[in-house]
Structure 1
Amino acid sequence: MKCINTSCTILFESPYWVGIFERKDDEEYSVSKFVFGKEPTAPELYNFILKSYPNKLRYIKTENNTDEIIRKKINPKKRQREAAKAMDEKGISTKAQQTLKIQYEKNKKQKKKISKVKKQELEKKKFELKQEKKKQKKRGH
């Protein structure tokens, strides 16, 4: 039998309250994001989990599921510099947020490709229409 662990983290990402749902089972780790809007109360959260939880969330699987880090011998001073640099960065902090960011970027690229193709088709259609009008004018009355 599979063991599935699910956790929910409620964050305030200006101007909305956001819930990040993480799901871990034996083989994979997946994450989903849901925007609540105003701050959810405990009864609203409970109601959401009981009724809307399975229907409104689309989980995204992570590509690299390994949490293991391969350690090489690194100069201690270099390790210290890298640690200081990592502490200075104000980036995405959790694995769930990183996964969501990666998925967001992928969706963004796909939308750009689709809109580019649509734009090219529209321009082609306009060009053909102009050519057709030109031919009509040349024919005479």
Structure 2
Amino acid sequence: MNNVYANLNIYFEEPNWICEYSRKNGDDIEICKIFFDFEPPTCDVYKYFLKNFNNLTFQKSEFNAEKTVLL
């Protein structure tokens, strides 16, 4: 059985607020970004996802957690 993880981040990047939803299923990581012109209250984000979740476009991430990163 695969574990499924989801993460939602909202941050400001001039001139928009960006809602970044990422999900991990097994080894696959997919990301979707939604742009807001205003700071979205939590209830608006929740409503948006309830109404539009089936229409979201996810992109595969190139991130590989198993590679060694040298700092």
Q: Which TM-score band (shorter chain)? A: 0.7 to 0.9
Kindly provide the CA deviation profile for residues 49-95 of structure 1, in whole angstroms up to 9, marking residues without a partner as x.
2121231x211112353433177xxxxxxxxxxx5xxxxxxxxxxxx
Following TM superposition, where does structure 1 have runs of at least 4 consecutive aligned residues deviating by more than 6 angstroms? none
Q: Which runs of 5+ in 1 are unaligned?
A: 72-82, 84-141
Scaled by the length of structure 2, what TM-score is found? 0.79
- Of structures 1 and 2, the one with the larger relative CO (CA 8 A, separation 6+) is 2
Once residues 36 and 53 of structure 2 are traced to their aligned partners in structure 1, the CA distance between those partners, rounded to angstroms, is 12
The structure where strand makes up a greater share of residues is: 2
Q: How many residues align?
A: 71
Deviation at 1:27, TM superposition (A): 2.2
Decide which structure has the larger Cα Rg and report it.
1
* Mapped partners of 2:69, 2:40: distance in 1: 41
Unaligned runs of 5+ in 2: none
Q: CA RMSD in A?
A: 2.1
Give the alignment of 1:53-132 within 5 angstroms: 53-55=53-55, 57-69=56-68
- What does residue 121 of structure 1 align with? none
